[in-house]
Amino acid sequence: MIPRLDVDGRLPCQDSPDLFGGREGERPGSDAYKRRVRAAQLICGHCPIRLACRDLGRGLQERDVWGGEDDKRRAAAGTPPRRRSPSNAQLRGRRPAA
Ligand code: SF4
């Protein structure tokens, strides 16, 4: 079972799902990847559940941006990503629910 966070209201990432979860054919470390991740991190900076989301991403050892934290930062925290990037459709079901 995949843990979920229940929150009231709409989450910032729900308005920009393409920025979260990676894009097909995107190369990690590429300029496009860095721009996308940076944009996602800026959105997370305004999220009321950022720390809980970050902890969920760490706990699941997810890829991509969770709570403003990318793969590199998650690895530095001792929880390196271990799963393949989910599709955006999968992602919508796994991010904290509004
Ligand atoms: S912190 Fe998590 S829930 Fe909030 S905008 Fe970022 S990815 Fe979405």
For the chain, give every domain's residue range.
13-94
Q: d(Cα 72, Cα 87) in Å, to the nearest integer?
A: 20
Give residues (CB < 6 A) around ligand 1: 11-13, 20, 43-44, 47, 49-50, 53, 65-68, 95-96
Q: Is the pLDDT of residue 96 over 70?
A: no
* Overall average pLDDT of the 64-80 stretch: 95
To the question of pTM greater than 0.95 for the whole model, the response is no
Q: Which of 91, 59, 94, 92 is nearest to 77 (CA)?
A: 59
Q: How far apart are CA 29 and CA 63, in angstroms?
A: 13
* Mean pLDDT of the region 35-48: 95
Summary mean pLDDT of the chain: 84
% of the chain exceeding 90 in pLDDT: 52
The whole-number pLDDT of residue 22 equals 74
Rg (CA), the chain: 12
* Protein residue with least CA distance to atom 8, ligand 1: 13
